[in-house]
Amino acid sequence: MRDVYVIGAGQSPFGSFPDETYLSLFETAYENALESVGGELDPDRIDEAFLGTLGVGGRQIGLSSPAVTEHLGLHGVPTTRVENACAASGYSFRSALTAVRAGTADVALAGGYEVMTDTSADQTKWWLGVSGETEWERTSGTTFAGVYAQMASAYLDAYDATVDDLSRVAVKNHGNGAKNPKAHLGFECSLEDARSAPGVADPLNLYHCCPTTDGASAALLASEEVAAEFDGPAVKVAGAGAASGRVGLFQRESLTSIPASVQAGEQAYAEAGVAPDDLDFAEVHDCFAIAELLAYDDLGFCERGEAGRLLREGVVDPDGELPTNTSGGLKSKGHPIGATGTGQVVEAFSQLRGEAHVQVDDPTYGLTHNVGGSGGGVTVHVFERTEVDA
């Protein structure tokens, strides 16, 4: 198995762009990824592409990814659309990683795209809702927010965490996102703002929920040999983990944990040979504030049930021991479903290159954590700044 490096990563701005299409958004992300490579990468060297999307509002479900590579001039490149709901591009990244590791590709493009703001509220609810379990959960009248709200209700009941801890996620992530020019909701918010927001699905309010967003992100993965051709700090994929989980929340033993996160995290740590203590930063899936708390627990950032403490004590602040979601997270940066997983990779790449908007002091290890649905599929990747030994 070959070592794999991220040699470039870029994203489009995340937000609401009525004049853009999923093609043009991905084009921007792709160009930014190419520009981030330390030197000129001839696109002809891209052997394969894996692109994630839920389905851009239903407009182009069949063959949307080949439409994207066609738009980029990547003629003839084998292109696979990856759909694992909100973990679509976490999985597209994993597929690209696997191709390069296996030697079937020396350079692979991973990415994702989504257009979510040009559909009606009902259509958006339909698209998001069908990523949950449809036979029972959906027919109980619940929504995505509702499912995470149920987890929140169980978590707040089981542990010493409060609604204010949920609000602290918003305060922190908006604080970070305000410094990220590509963030969808790039403004700061106070704890009082977050406390007084209108309710969405009790106990979650508007500030506990990420926006629906248009955007695209891309990462270029390469073998060690190829990576050695380019300048700049090398960003190695040190560890990868992925797991599927029960699609329906009601089908799980625990409602206060996402087992697929635990499993994917353990795999990624083991492969990278690191422990949570070794991490210098993390980008975790915070589609709803409770998801970020669950991630702290599931990824071993703290003892189970202690997530609220990390927020209260500032452990996950930019100047804390484990800065988390320095990009602004899904909450502030935005959550263009298919683009989210590789969007996290963009932040990890920037951090390890020393180019992040909220830069962590001299980081070596960073983690990305991408959740599909309410936990039906998860990827975790550990990145390491290192030397290329080719």
Partner 1 sequence: MSADRDVANDLAADGGSAPDVDAVGIETAAIRLPEYRLSSEAIAEAWGTSHAPGVERKAVAGADEDALTMAVAAADRVLAGDADGTTGGGAASSDTVDPDRVDLVVTATTTPPMEEGEFTPRLVRALGLPTDVATATLGGSTAAGGEALARGLEAAASRTALVVVADCPAGDPAETDHPMGAGAAAFVLSSDPAVSVGEPAWHVEEYPGIRHRERGAETVDTLDITTYQRTAIRESITAATEALADDGGPLAGPGLEAVDAAAVHQPNGSLPYRATGDLPFDPEAVQAGTVADRIGDAGAATVPIGLLAAVADANGEADGADPDGDRRSVAAVFGGGTAVSMACRGTVSVAGVEELDAGESITYDEYLRKRGTIVDGEVAGGGAHVSLPNWQGSLDQRYRLVAGRCPECGGVTFPPTGACRECHERVTFEEFEAPRTGTVRAVTVIGQGGAPPEFAGHQQRDGAYGVAIVDLGEGDDEITLPGQLTDADPTAVEVGDAVTATVRRIYEQEGVPRYGVKFVPEADAE
Task: Kindly list the catalytic residues.
Answer: 86, 335
Asked whether position 304 contacts partner 1 by CB under 8 A, the answer is no
How far are the Cα atoms of 67, 141, 204 from residue 150, in angstroms, in the given order? 38, 13, 9
Instruction: Report DSSP letters for 252-304, one per residue.
Output: SS-SS--HHHHHHHHHHHHHHT--GGG-SEEE---SBHHHHHHHHHHTTSSST
Scan residues 212-271 and list those touching partner 1 (CB under 8 A).
248-251, 255
Query: How many other C-beta atoms can be found within 10 angstroms of the C-beta atom of residue 179?
Result: 18
Cβ atoms 380, 266 nearer than 8 A: no
Asked whether position 314 contacts partner 1 by CB under 8 A, the answer is no
Closest to partner 1 by CB, 36 vs 257, is 257
Q: How far is the CB of 161 from partner 1 (least distance, A)?
A: 13
Task: Identify which of 158, 203, 170, 162 has the alpha carbon closest to the alpha carbon of residue 304.
Answer: 158
Cβ atoms 291, 210 nearer than 8 A: no
Q: How far apart are CA 10 and CA 253, in angstroms?
A: 38
Residue found under tokens 């009606």: 120
Residue found under tokens 């649905």: 373
Determine the interface stretch with partner 1 among 70-78, 131-139, 213-221, 222-230 (rule: CB under 8 A): 131-139
Asked whether position 375 contacts partner 1 by CB under 8 A, the answer is no
Asked whether position 136 contacts partner 1 by CB under 8 A, the answer is yes
Asked whether position 154 contacts partner 1 by CB under 8 A, the answer is yes
Task: Identify which of 44, 54, 3, 35 has the alpha carbon closest to the alpha carbon of residue 336.
Answer: 54
List of E strands, the chain: 4-11, 48-52, 79-82, 107-114, 199-201, 204-205, 215-223, 234-244, 281-283, 365-372, 377-386
Q: How far is the CB of 115 from partner 1 (least distance, A)?
A: 17
Cβ atoms 101, 107 nearer than 8 A: no
Q: How far is the CB of 327 from partner 1 (least distance, A)?
A: 27
Determine the interface stretch with partner 1 among 26-34, 37-45, 132-140, 311-319 (rule: CB under 8 A): 132-140
Q: For the window 5-34, what string marks contact with partner 1 as x by the rule CB under 8 A?
A: ------------------------------
Asked whether position 273 contacts partner 1 by CB under 8 A, the answer is no
Asked whether position 206 contacts partner 1 by CB under 8 A, the answer is no
The two three-digit tokens of residue 172, written as one number: 């922190």
Closest to partner 1 by CB, 66 vs 129, is 129
Scan residues 162-201 and list those touching partner 1 (CB under 8 A).
199-201
Amino acid identity, residue 302? C
Determine the interface stretch with partner 1 among 10-18, 39-47, 148-156, 379-387 (rule: CB under 8 A): 148-156
Closest to partner 1 by CB, 24 vs 136, is 136
Q: How far apart are CA 229 and CA 309, in angstroms?
A: 45
Determine the interface stretch with partner 1 among 115-123, 189-197, 264-272, 327-335 (rule: CB under 8 A): 115-123
Q: How far is the CB of 308 from partner 1 (least distance, A)?
A: 17
- Total residues in contact with partner 1, by rule CB under 8 A: 38
Residue found under tokens 């379990």: 133
Q: How far apart are CA 298 and CA 135, in angstroms?
A: 27
Asked whether position 289 contacts partner 1 by CB under 8 A, the answer is no
Determine the interface stretch with partner 1 among 90-98, 114-122, 213-221, 357-365 (rule: CB under 8 A): 114-122
Q: What angle do CA 121, 19, 184 make, to 5 degrees?
A: 65
Asked whether position 134 contacts partner 1 by CB under 8 A, the answer is yes
Closest to partner 1 by CB, 95 vs 374, is 374
Q: How far is the CB of 364 from partner 1 (least distance, A)?
A: 38
β-pairing verdict for 204-205 and 107-114 = unpaired
Asked whether position 104 contacts partner 1 by CB under 8 A, the answer is no
Contact with partner 1 (CB under 8 A) among 16, 78, 138, 321? 138
Query: Contact residues for partner 1 (CB under 8 A)?
Result: 120-123, 125-126, 129-130, 134-143, 145-146, 149-154, 157, 199-204, 248-251, 255
